[in-house]
């Protein structure tokens, strides 16, 4: 392994090929540097047997000819690399308007649903995305600014289940963006640049382009490492909490109707308020209801409906999700 380029060594250490080679992997490839490096790195670790690998590209149709150019680049690259390529076009802007969600949230939902679909259709056990340590730093800081709880401080999870048979894995969370571009330069591998990443009207871009450089220069040169450490510690604490959250769910939550749930408030009356909020977030996540507009104030109102006898008995939450309490039962259901 020592003869491999550093990036490939790091990738192999993070996600040894023997773990994923037998199961098969769908690699999400946007055409940008990170995803192209992930595809090239996994191909290098595969050797000549590239059968476990498939690439998937979602054309968000947000940047006109540039989006189509990204798709063409990915298709050409996969042809050159002898990797099957699956492409889908989705009008994210139209979907966003119809569903009342942000472009980012809609794109994320559509993208992961489709990646899961591709994996299940072709019997792949994994979906791999190319999030890096820089993405983790930006995510943790973004959530601090926006307002977050302990779970949010944990940042981007390395692993999560997309379904009972497909696991999402992010093997590059320990790699910096500079290492990615150095690897591609060594290979002589081209990649696409998304000009919208320089648009400082978007909060995430302002954090990357303006705030983080200011913090490094004027406050703490090691701020990236500090934020990464904060994320690791928050994730460790969150893992300790999850068994209690699971116990509360098993005790008090049951399905209701086609897509709703009912919560036995009496069984949660003496539970810790933080654990109840985390349980509600877990229920919301599993139901795949929109999360973006649910901040601390919304979770606390919902928690209050569960535990406080004098709280309001009916409320509409973002989604839209109806919450209605009758006696000791709270019913949540999409409208």
What's the pLDDT tens digit per position in 202-223? Answer: 889 999 999 999 999 999 999 9
Long-range contacts of 217-226 (CB under 8 A, 24+ apart): 224/133, 224/134, 224/137
**So what's the pLDDT on residue 2?**
61
DSSP class of 279? H
Model pLDDT, residue 229: 97
| Residue 305 CA: distances (Å) to CA of 67, 83, 263, 308, 318 | 45, 52, 11, 6, 16
Distance CA 292, CA 113 (A): 17
Please report the DSSP string for 160-196 in residue order. Answer: EESSSS-EEE-TTTTS-HHHHHHHHHHHT------GG
Question: What is the model's pLDDT at position 121?
Answer: 96
59: β partners = 89
Would you call 327 exposed, middle or buried from its count of C-beta atoms within 10 A (0-12, 13-18, 19+)? exposed
Check residue 138 and give its pLDDT.
97
User: Residue 75 CB: number of other CB atoms within 10 A?
Assistant: 17
CA triple 334-89-169, angle to 5 deg? 70
Q: What is the pTM of this model?
A: 0.86
Write down the pLDDT at residue 179: 97
Mean pLDDT by 10 residues, the chain (335 residues): 84 95 96 98 91 95 90 97 95 80 82 96 97 97 85 91 95 97 97 90 93 97 97 93 94 90 94 94 86 82 91 89 93 93
Any idea which fold 6-203 has? Rossmann fold (3.40.50)
For residue 244, give the 3-state DSSP assignment: helix
Domain residue spans of the chain: 6-203, 241-334
CATH fit for domain 241-334, picks 1.10.760, 1.20.59, 2.60.120, 1.10.3470: 1.20.59
Amino acid 67: pLDDT = 92
Say yes or no: do domains 6-203 and 241-334 share a fold: no
């Amino acid at each position: 392994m020592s003869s491999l380029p550093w990036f490939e060594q790091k990738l192999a250490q993070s996600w040894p090929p023997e773990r994923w080679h037998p199961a098969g992997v769908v690699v999400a490839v946007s055409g940008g540097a990170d995803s192209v490096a992930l595809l090239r790195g996994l191909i290098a670790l595969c050797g000549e047997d590239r059968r476990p690998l498939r690439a998937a590209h979602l054309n968000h149709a947000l940047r006109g000819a540039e989006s189509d150019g990204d798709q063409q680049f990915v298709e050409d690259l996969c042809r050159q690399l002898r990797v099957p390529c699956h492409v889908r076009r989705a009008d994210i802007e139209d979907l966003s308007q119809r569903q009342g969600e942000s472009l980012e949230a809609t794109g994320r939902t559509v993208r992961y649903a489709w990646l899961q679909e591709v994996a299940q259709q072709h019997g792949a056990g994994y979906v791999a995305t190319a999030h890096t340590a820089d993405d983790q730093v930006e995510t943790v800081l973004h959530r601090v600014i926006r307002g977050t709880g302990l779970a949010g401080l944990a940042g981007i999870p390395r692993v999560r289940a997309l379904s009972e048979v497909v696991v999402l894995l992010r093997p590059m969370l320990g790699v910096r963006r500079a290492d990615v571009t150095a690897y591609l330069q060594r290979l002589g591998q081209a990649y696409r640049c998304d000009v919208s990443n320089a648009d400082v009207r978007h909060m995430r871009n302002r954090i990357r382009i303006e705030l983080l450089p200011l913090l490094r220069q004027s406050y703490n040169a090691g701020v990236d490492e500090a934020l990464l450490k904060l994320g690791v510690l928050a994730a460790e604490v969150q893992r300790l909490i999850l068994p209690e959250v699971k116990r509360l769910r098993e005790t008090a939550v049951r399905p209701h109707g086609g897509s709703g749930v009912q919560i036995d408030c009496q069984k949660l009356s003496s539970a810790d308020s933080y654990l109840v909020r985390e349980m509600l977030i877990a229920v919301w996540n599993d139901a795949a209801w929109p999360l973006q507009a649910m901040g601390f104030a919304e979770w606390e109102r919902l928690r209050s409906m569960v535990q406080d006898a004098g709280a309001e008995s009916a409320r509409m939450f973002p989604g839209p999700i109806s919450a209605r309490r009758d006696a000791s039962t709270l019913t949540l259901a999409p409208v």
